[in-house]
Amino acid sequence: MSVTSATLEIRGVTRRFGKNTAVSDINIAIPQGQMVGIIGRSGAGKSTLLRMINRLIDPSQGSIFFDGAEVSQLSGSPLRRWQRDCAMIFQQFNLVPRLDVLTNVLLGKLNHRSTMSNLFGMFSRAECAEAVAALERLDIARTALQPAGTLSGGQQQRVAIARAMMQQPRVILADEPIASLDPLNAKVVMDSLQDINLREGITVVTNLHTLDTARTYCNRIVGMAAGKVVFDGPPEELNREAVRLVYGADNNGQEISEAITSTSVAFSRKIAASAGPLEPAFPGY
């Protein structure tokens, strides 16, 4: 399966919460099939941006287009269609813990179906087969009949990805999908998103709190600081100066704490902005 080509365009988008500007005049165009990592400090506006794309919240100013249609103006069934085309994955998985895994995955089909069949809660044999196939692809089919809440975090996030795939999305938005996972599970989840991006050509836009993950998996990195885009380019262009623009410097203006860019155990060092050998974990410095 391959999705048709369409660009996601964010034009002059600003979002205010009271006096606080969370996202400030953002302009980016994301062609179909890119895997984009959004990085930045906590509070930079990353989640707000993703939530506006999915229309969980609306921009205060500006417009968002997909495939030429202004998604920031949609309502009713065209809005539901957009929210189906643009699946969302969250840090906390957002599964229904007491329902079994298979049913959780089938819930991804809900807005494909008529209200009547939703009311009767019946899924067709074909839909069940599709859900099992999605679970097999993510290597968790054996958990199909377990309550989702009994799975490990890494398994739950894979269920959430399988559920997203049931929407047959054109875009996947993932908000810190690995922030609650250990490094091994984080790798499995990121590998799955990359595989979906490469094999189906689905655009993936993911907020990431670790620089190394963004470098490893994304072909484009968008760096945000205080609601603005301060870097936009391929990982190899994200040099030390750009990292400093994104994450800022600490109080003495000299160093960036690696704690804000990575949770991996290998990152107990400091990035010295002024001296020291280049770290192999940060190729391109």
Ligand X SMILES: Nc1ncnc2c1ncn2[C@@H]1O[C@H](COP(=O)(O)OP(=O)(O)O)[C@@H](O)[C@H]1O
Q: Indicate whether 263 belongs to the interface with ligand X (CB under 6 A).
A: no
Q: How far is the CB of 225 from ligand X (least distance, A)?
A: 10
**Order of strands across the sheet with 220-225?**
86-90, 171-175, 203-207, 35-39, 220-225, 228-233
Q: What does the alpha-carbon distance between residue 18 and residue 81 come to, in Å, rounded to a whole number?
A: 30
**Would you count residue 219 as binding ligand X (CB under 6 A)?**
no
> Distance (Å, rounded) from C-alpha 127 to C-alpha 265?
41
Residue 43 binds: one of ligand X, Mg ion, none (C-beta under 5 to 8 A by kind) = ligand X
| CB 284 to ligand X: min, Å | 23
Conformation bin of residue 237: beta by default, left when phi > 0, alpha when psi is -120 to 50 = alpha
- In the list 43, 62, 235, 284, the residue contacting ligand X (rule: CB under 6 A) is 43
Residue 37, contacted partner among ligand X, Mg ion, none, CB below 5-8 A by kind: none
Q: Which does 251 bind (CB under 5 to 8 A by kind): Mg ion, ligand X, none?
A: none
- Residue closer to ligand X, measured from CB, 138 or 208: 208
Q: How many other C-beta atoms are found inside a 10 Å radius of the C-beta of residue 139?
A: 12
SS3 134: helix
- Residue 177 CB, shortest distance to ligand X, in Å, is 13
By CB under 5 A, name the one of 47, 104, 197, 261 that touches Mg ion: 47
Interacting span for Mg ion (CB under 5 A) from 39-47, 77-85, 147-155, 269-277:
39-47
DSSP codes of every residue in 58-127: --SEEEEEETTEEGGG--HHHHHHHHHHEEEEETT----TTSBHHHHHHGGGGGGS-HHHHHHT---HHH
Find the angle CA(18)-CA(23)-CA(28) to the nearest 5 degrees.
155
Phi and psi based region of residue 157 (left: phi greater than 0; alpha: psi -120 to 50; beta: remaining): alpha
**Residue whose tokens read 């107990």:** 268
Pick the stretch among 38-46, 109-117, 196-204, 224-232 that binds Mg ion (CB under 5 A): 38-46
**Count of CA atoms in the C-beta half-sphere (13 A) of 257:** 8
Shortest Cβ distance from residue 40 to Mg ion (Å)? Answer: 9
Residue 40 interacting with ligand X (CB under 6 A)? yes
- Give the nearer residue to ligand X in terms of CB position, either 17 or 73: 17
Q: Which residue is nearest to Mg ion (CB)?
A: 47
When asked if residue 47 is in the footprint of ligand X (CB under 6 A), the reply is yes
Of 26, 30, 36, 44, which lies in the binding site for ligand X, with binding defined by CB under 6 A? 44
C-beta of 107 vs 260, nearer to Mg ion: 260
Task: Using alpha carbons, select from 244, 233, 219, 243 the residue that is nearest to residue 28.
Answer: 233
Of 144, 201, 228, the residue nearest 3 (C-alpha): 201
User: 5-24 mask for ligand X (x: CB under 6 A)?
Assistant: ------------x--x-x--
Task: Select the binding partner of residue 48 from ligand X, Mg ion, none (C-beta < 5 to 8 A, by kind).
Answer: ligand X
Reduced to 3 states (helix: H, G, I; strand: E, B; else coil), residue 30 is strand
The footprint of Mg ion (CB under 5 A) covers 46-47
The footprint of ligand X (CB under 6 A) covers 17, 20, 22, 40, 42-48
